């Protein structure tokens, strides 16, 4: 009986020791499980963060693309009328700080409506794209070309020496625009009236400079009876300017 009691005692002790061991193991495993849970949570947060970074990058790219589309003409890819004003204002502010001049050209195609009426808007659009390319190709490095609307274009000429430099750019553009156009089986001959103005000689702000160049463009156009007159005719008309507008480009 004594042996039996001893045996029962030993079994109870073993059971108790087993419970203590299990508790110790559980106590040991609990921090490990918590650590694994924390690591999994950190990994999840990293994945979420990476996803948010990708989404933010995509959003910024879309915003940048939207801004480009807002500032550019959908047909020609040039700056549009909306963007012209801030670009011109920036150029004038820089010129004011550096005590320099800025030139402005206002270009209007002759007879563009007739092209649309005779050959359709598809050919008219091709013509505008080609004209935009020719103007850009003859502008100086750093000049800013804008499509003002319809068949009108504006060129901002920063850092010009004066009216003579503006005239040279205008003459170069006019000569290029007068070359034949071959568009979808249609051959066209075009000309353009070009009016120019110089800041600060003829205007003190962006709006006044644009108005002056626009006015000089209409004067150049009105002095040519033939709206399809060649650039030399336009240039001669420009040289017969009034003394009060010596720096106008035609």
Active-site positions?
A: 151
DSSP 1: -
Half-sphere exposure of 113 (CA within 13 A, CB side): 1
- The closest of 180, 176, 159, 169 to 213, measured between CA atoms, is 169
SS3 157: strand
- Report the C-alpha gap between 217 and 47 in whole angstroms: 61
Task: For residue 43, give the H/E element and its range.
Answer: helix 2-71
DSSP codes joined into one string, 111-156: SHHHHHHHH-HHHHHHHHHHHHHHHHHHSPTT-EEEEEETTEEEEE
How far apart are alpha carbons 163 and 197 in whole angstroms? 8
How many residues are there in the chain?
250
Tokens (6 digits) for 93: 């502010």
Q: 155 pairs with which residues across the strands? A: 105, 145
Distance in angstroms (rounded) separating the CA atoms of residues 22 and 6: 24
Question: 101: part of which helix (H) or strand (E)?
Answer: strand 101-109
CB 95 within 8 A of CB 205: no
């Amino acid at each position: 009986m004594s042996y039996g009691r001893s045996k029962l005692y030993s079994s109870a002790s073993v059971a108790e020791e087993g419970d203590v061991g299990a508790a110790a193991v559980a106590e040991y495993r609990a921090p490990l499980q918590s650590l694994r849970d924390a690591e999994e949570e950190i990994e999840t947060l990293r994945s979420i963060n990476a996803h948010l970074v990708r989404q933010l990058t995509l959003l910024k790219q879309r915003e940048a693309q939207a801004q480009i589309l807002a500032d550019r003409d959908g047909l020609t890819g040039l700056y549009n009328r909306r963007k012209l004003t801030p670009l011109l204002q920036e150029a004038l502010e820089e010129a004011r700080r550096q005590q320099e001049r800025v030139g402005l050209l206002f270009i209007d195609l002759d007879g563009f409506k007739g092209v649309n009426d005779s050959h359709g808007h598809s050919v008219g659009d091709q013509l505008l794209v080609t004209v935009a390319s020719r103007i850009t190709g003859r502008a100086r490095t750093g000049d800013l070309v804008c499509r003002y609307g319809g068949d009108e274009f504006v060129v901002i000429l920063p850092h010009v020496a004066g009216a003579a430099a503006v005239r040279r750019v205008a003459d170069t553009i006019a000569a290029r625009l007068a070359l034949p156009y071959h568009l979808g089986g249609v051959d066209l001959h075009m000309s353009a009236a070009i009016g120019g103005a110089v800041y600060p000689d003829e205007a003190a702000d962006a709006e006044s400079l644009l108005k002056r160049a626009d006015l000089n463009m209409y004067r150049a156009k009105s002095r040519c009876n033939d709206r399809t007159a060649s650039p030399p005719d336009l240039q001669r008309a420009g040289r017969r300017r009034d003394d009060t507008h010596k720096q106008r480009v035609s």
